Structure 1
Amino acid sequence: MNFRQLEAFNAVMISGSTVRAAELMGVTQPAVSRLIAELEAAVRFPLFDRVRGRLIATPEGTLFFREVEVSFKGLDRLQATAASIRDYGAGTLKIASLAAAGAILAPAAIRAFRQQNPGVRITFHITWSSAIRNGITDGQYDLGLAADEIDRSGIDSQLFGSFPGLVAMPKSHPLTLHKSITPDLIAKWPLIGLSPEDRARQRFDEAMKKAGHEPKYVIETPNAATICALAQEGDAVGLVNPLVIGEAESRTVALRPFAPEVMFRVYLLFPADIQKSALVRGFTAELFRLRNRFEMPTA
């Protein structure tokens, strides 16, 4: 008994004749008849009765077909799995992002990616950049978006983008009269700042001190979206990553570029020494496609 014989038997059972079975298999009708005869010799019972030129399955043949049918359904599943692996990698994608990129950019990329790959299961976590780096190392994530303060040794990393920071403030704030905000202008106001270990915060502090000003922080938070929320009311202002700016934020706060530019650098992280799957490459392409909308400051 071999696969070709079983394939011929299955084709005859589902099509009803050796002629149609031959068409399904892409062979001649005599070849199908020969395969059926060989299979009957192998199982040592008749699979079909020949009645007026037609093949009618015997009771034994019908019982045997039930098992053959189960086997062919399993083969179909194997073929579908192989196609999924070929086209989409393992069929799952595990993504992690820092909060700034996880607010708008990553969800937009996930939405666009799923439109092309609806069968892929996605896990998405928003967490600290250091936790993302560790998760990449441990195999918890397939790719991550992290800020530049992390240690990138031992992983595969690529600069995703450098985004010029924006000063968020209430729409009624006096600083809105200026097209850009300099250290001299912002030094007069209390500040909402990112965490001290944030590299963009450190670059902002350096720019202020170089201009002769000591930043006056009254609130600190690790999340740029929180800075936008806090800046909606009151007199405090803060520098934010433009990745967090969506339609809702642009309606509730005023945004002005800071001069000199303070860049928020975001890196893509991947496990080291592992070839990127089709899934990872596809999702990375969506991220880069959407990146451009955030690269210029919002006035």
Structure 2
Amino acid sequence: MNIRQLEAFHATMETGSVTRAGEKLGISQPAVSKLLRAFADTCGFQLFVRSGSRLVPTLEARLLAVEVERMFSGTERIARLANAVRNREWGEVSVAAPAALATRYLAHALAPFLADQPDLHFTLQSRTSPRITELVAAQQIDIGLSVLPFDHPHVDAEIIMRFVMVCVLPARHPLADKQVIEIDELRNEPFISLARDDCSLMSIDRAFQVKGVQKRNRIEVPLSETACGFVANGAGVSIAPPFVGLDYSDQIVRRALMPEITMDVWLLTPNTRPPSLAAQKLADFIRVAVAPYDQREGAKVFS
């Protein structure tokens, strides 16, 4: 008994004809008949009888066909799985990103990709950049997005975006009519600040210090999205990445800030094992997703 005999039997049972079985398998009718005879000899019983021009399977053949169908269903599942793996549509991928990216933007940007990959199991963690670098180095996640550079022999690091922080104002704020906000103009504004362990806070505070401006911290929040929520409700102003607060487009405005405050986003991956095809495809999609905010090339656009 060999796979070609099983294929000939399976195709004949499916099509009800030796001729059509040969067409399905891409071989001649005599070749199918020869395989069927060999299979019947191996089994030790008759598989088909003639009824006029029709080929009728015996009871024994129908019993055997149930198991053969299961076998071929299994091989078809394996073939579909192999095809999904080859097309990077199957597997497990874990990503960790700072809250500014993970809270809202990545969910919005990656949803179309994941909708097209129903067999891909995706995990997104919100972590601080120092913790993300540790997770990548320990191979506990497949992809890390960090605003801190990381030099480690077991980690590959690539800058995928350099974004410019923007000034976030209530839509009816007196400064909203300006296209560029100077740090000096925020001197007396109630400021919605991020927590002290946020990696962007040091850069923001430095910009105020360079200009000799005292920042009036009124409210401290853990997330940039939360800061935008307070700004939308008129509680103050803030400085945030351009990709946060997108759900408040009617209540807040984003304005260019001078001097500029820029931050890099690094894509980190473990290099001690080959990345899965699914992880490679997702990393490529992330590069495309952040491209609209990458200020390393092209003009700045604020809305």
Which TM-score tier does this pair reach, normalised by the shorter chain? 0.7 to 0.9
Q: Distance in 2 between matches of 1:283 and 1:29?
A: 47
| Alignment CA distance shift 1:85-1:254 (3 Å) | closer
What is the CA-CA distance between 1:140 and the residue it aligns to?
A: 4.1
After superposition, where does 1:216-231 map in structure 2 within 5 Å? 216-231=216-231
Give the AA of the match of 2:249: S
After superposition, where does 1:6-85 map in structure 2 within 5 Å? 6-52=6-52, 54-85=54-85
What is the CA-CA distance between 1:76 and the residue it aligns to?
A: 1.0
1:45-93 deviation per Cα after TM superposition (whole angstroms, max 9, x unaligned): 2222234454322222221121111111111111111111111164333
Give the AA of the match of 2:95: I
Q: Distance in 2 between matches of 1:255 and 1:59?
A: 76
| Alignment CA distance shift 1:138-1:129 (3 Å) | same
Q: Distance in 1 between matches of 2:121 and 2:10?
A: 34
Partner of 1:241: 241
- Comparing 113-122 with 17-26, which one deviates more in the overlay? 113-122
Partner of 2:198: 198
User: Structure 1: any 5+ residue segments left out of the alignment?
Assistant: none
SS at match of 2:181: coil
After superposition, where does 1:131-210 map in structure 2 within 5 Å? 131-148=131-148, 151=150, 153=152, 154-210=154-210
Q: Distance in 2 between matches of 1:12 and 1:179?
A: 74
SS at match of 1:88: coil
Partner of 1:215: 215
Partner of 1:265: 264
Partner of 2:255: 256
Partner of 1:93: 93
SS at match of 1:288: helix
What is the CA-CA distance between 1:5 and the residue it aligns to?
A: 0.8
CA contact (8 A) 1:256 1:298 kept: yes
SS at match of 1:258: strand
Partner of 2:297: none
1:170-210 deviation per Cα after TM superposition (whole angstroms, max 9, x unaligned): 23333335432223222233322223343432122222222
Q: Distance in 1 between matches of 2:23 and 2:233?
A: 75
Partner of 1:278: 277
What is the CA-CA distance between 1:109 and the residue it aligns to?
A: 2.5
CA contact (8 A) 2:85 2:278 kept: no
Aligned residues: 297
CA contact (8 A) 2:161 2:293 kept: no
CA contact (8 A) 1:164 1:263 kept: yes
SS at match of 2:87: helix
Give the AA of the match of 1:2: N
What is the CA-CA distance between 1:137 and the residue it aligns to?
A: 3.9
User: Structure 2: any 5+ residue segments left out of the alignment?
Assistant: 295-299
Greater share of residues in strand: 2
Give the AA of the match of 1:201: L
What is the CA-CA distance between 1:33 and the residue it aligns to?
A: 1.2
| Alignment CA distance shift 1:222-1:264 (3 Å) | farther
Q: Distance in 2 between matches of 1:224 and 1:76?
A: 48
SS at match of 2:144: strand
What is the CA-CA distance between 1:155 and the residue it aligns to?
A: 2.3
CA contact (8 A) 1:84 1:90 kept: yes
| Alignment CA distance shift 1:50-1:167 (3 Å) | same
Q: Distance in 1 between matches of 2:94 and 2:32?
A: 48
- Comparing 217-226 with 278-287, which one deviates more in the overlay? 278-287
What is the CA-CA distance between 1:8 and the residue it aligns to?
A: 0.9
CA contact (8 A) 1:166 1:297 kept: no
TM-score, normalised to structure 2's length?
Answer: 0.86
Identical positions, percent:
29
What is the CA-CA distance between 1:29 and the residue it aligns to?
A: 1.2
Q: Distance in 1 between matches of 2:17 and 2:177?
A: 84
